[in-house]
Structure 1
Amino acid sequence: MSAVATLRPLGIDNTVQVSQVTHRLALGIQWLDALTQLPVAGDWVNDLEAIGTRPGLLRFERHPQARQALRHAGRLARVLPLAAADKVATPPADVADDPTNFVVRAFARRDARYADYRSDNDPRQYVPRRLSLTPVQSGGVPPSSLANIRTAWLWPGATYPLAANASAIRGCIRRGASLASAVPVAWARVVVTRPGAGPANFATETPLAWAHGDDRGEFLVVLGTQAVPGGVVLPATIALRLWIFLAPASVLGVADPLSGLPLEVAGSDALNEVLSGTAMPAGHVLEAAFIDITLAPGRVSGVNDADLLFA
């Protein structure tokens, strides 16, 4: 006589819990080196500046591989439903005005004893960034999934470690009537193209490299293989064109040096041109004067200070 097994439906009484969701991810960011695509090194800090118009005043938790995270807990869990109610009461005109947006400041510290950003404590390996991100939420509650993870890039700062044979361009952007009275232009953006046969036109020339200027007006463009034409034998020189985009004129705050850092509205994508830092921030203006330079590959070249002086 054979026994017939009877299958019981699964229920609480005949199952064993193997895991439990202890928290939900409100927002997670992984910071990558824009050139190497590897996680950035150093004491990288993320601050939640605000959620919409509501002050954030929270610091992200640091995780391995340059990951930063905010859990749906504590004060954040109390603020999110309020921000969601703001959105229902006053629907945003566009994503930039969304009251559920997280405004995040990202910067590095040389000495962790200083909690807030200080120019003299910035190792200047990467340029700070300020992003507006739109997390996925339902009634002020994030999903129990990985939907709110973002990937963002950081661009080289003045002390970025360069290989011995790197092809790069350094410069310092200033405003003023003369170099003697000029002041640095903070947070500029630089795009490098290859000059074409016709008149100079940024809209039709292919970008080869990007750079983010820092609070001192300094930038570093590191050129990859796409900027060096030819095959096995390198050319003696490369003709390149620099396009300068300046942020709106502002005075650097002494109490808050990052007050003029441009806000880059990235929306809800996991990665896009804003997050990668290759989209121009709103308000940045392309200067009419471009700069044509001749660069010897395998060397770091500087741009003449007079060519980077703007009225």
Structure 2
Amino acid sequence: MTPADALPGPAGARPDRRITVEAGAVDVLHRLALAVRPLDARNRAAAGPGLRVGWESAPVPGRRRQAPDPARPLEGHGATGFVLRHTAAGALPAAVTVRVDDPARRWIPRRFTVPLWTPAELSGADERPPTAPHIPAESRLLIPWLLPGPGYPVPEGTTGLRLRVTRPDAAATPVRWPRVDAFGPGGVPLGWAHGDEHGQVLLLIDGVGVLPYPAPSRFPVALRTHAPDPPPPAPAGPSSAPSADPLAGLVAEPLARSASPPRPQDLDNEVLRGTARPAGYRTAAADTVRTLTVGRVVHAADLPHTPPDP
């Protein structure tokens, strides 16, 4: 077993088999199905503490689900991240939908659909003779990047915008879960951001693109919005059932299962970074220009998202 496979088992877990290692015969109480290690997209450091990470499952007949979160929490293991196990207590599905959320709203939530290695594939290396190759723990690792949310602690001297993405209607309806790309002079990409269920976006910029030194204190930036189409449903109001999902309409982005051993693109790609446009999102018909002030995060006017004609 790998060190990740040897994490402490749940209390009362039943062994799924008995294997022999250098120290002798041991009972296998669990096997690592998935480890989730969220990163802060700004500094590439571990995001947290205080994150909620879970996997979505169908309701169990006869058992009340704790509202409003429809996800079962993953076990937190410090630097290891959050862990989902294969155990003898019950089978996991072939793929799980993982959600990462921050109650403090420092980061924008994300959802992913992740195929799992099966217990047979993971245990085959323990057979005598082996029936399957060893699957390293890194092949069961999910490293999502989390983009800053409204409560993100912005360092002094950062350049950026706080704004809201809205629909082009009379009520300026907020766009739920928008995404925004920023381009500087010459069309040079300067950054990207995700928005929350209220359309709020915190866009933080590094650098000034191709502007010559010394750069002006203020310069224009072209903002390109992407949004679900049709709009996702809003969660039910206070008078409705308490089981309304707080992440209603947030897309679950599909991922391919990592190779064994994992390739670089399995652990770091456009989907994990949040730069890929998810299925069902449409890009606005035109970019919108706003003005940045170097060294400051300023509040900008609402950013209208007008999808192209069908």
TM-score, normalised relative to structure 2 = 0.72
Answer yes or no: is the 8 Å Cα contact 1:168–1:221 preserved in 2.
yes
| Alignment partner, residue 10 of structure 2 | none
Q: What count of residue pairs does the alignment treat as equivalent?
A: 251
Task: Indicate how the Cα distance of structure 1 residues 229 and 68 shifts in structure 2: closer, same or farther if over 3 A, else same.
Answer: farther
Q: 1:160 to 1:228 in 2, by over 3 A?
A: farther
Q: Does the alignment pair 1:289 with 2:286?
A: yes
Bigger Rg, which one: 1
Identity rate, percent: 31
> 2-side partners of 1:279 and 1:236: how far apart?
31
Return the alpha-carbon distance in structure 2 between the equivalents of residues 144 and 21 of structure 1. 16
CA distance change for structure 1 residues 240 and 60 in 2, over 3 Å: closer, same or farther?
same
Offset at residue 36 of structure 1 (A)? 0.5
Matched, 1:262 2:251: yes
Q: Which runs of 5+ in 1 are unaligned?
A: 1-11, 84-99, 110-122, 197-204
**Partners of 2:190 and 2:207 within 8 A in 1:** no
Shift of the alpha carbon at 1:190? 0.3
Match of 1:126 in 2: 107
Alignment match, 1:72: 86
How far off its partner does 1:217 sit?
Answer: 0.5
1:275 to 272, 275, 299: 272
Deviations 1:119-161 (A, max 9, x none): xxxx211011111112333647576631201211100001111
The reply on whether 1:302 has 2:299 as its aligned counterpart is: yes
TM-score (norm 1): 0.72
Q: 1:164 to 1:218 in 2, by over 3 A?
A: same
Let me know the Cα RMSD of the aligned residues: 2.9
Alignment of 1:118-157 (within 5 A): 123-137=104-118, 139=120, 141=122, 145-146=136-137, 147-157=139-149
Q: State the partner residue of 2:233.
A: 251
1:105 to 95, 99, 121: 99
Q: CA deviation at 1:57?
A: 5.2
In 2, distance between residues paired with 1:224 and 1:171? 18
Query: What SS does the aligned partner of 1:24 have?
Result: strand
DSSP-derived class of the 1:244 partner: strand
Choose from 20, 36, 52 the match for 1:45: 52
Q: Provide structure 2 residue ranges, at least 5 long, that are not aligned to the other structure.
A: 1-18, 59-69, 124-133, 237-243, 258-265
- 1:224 is matched with 206
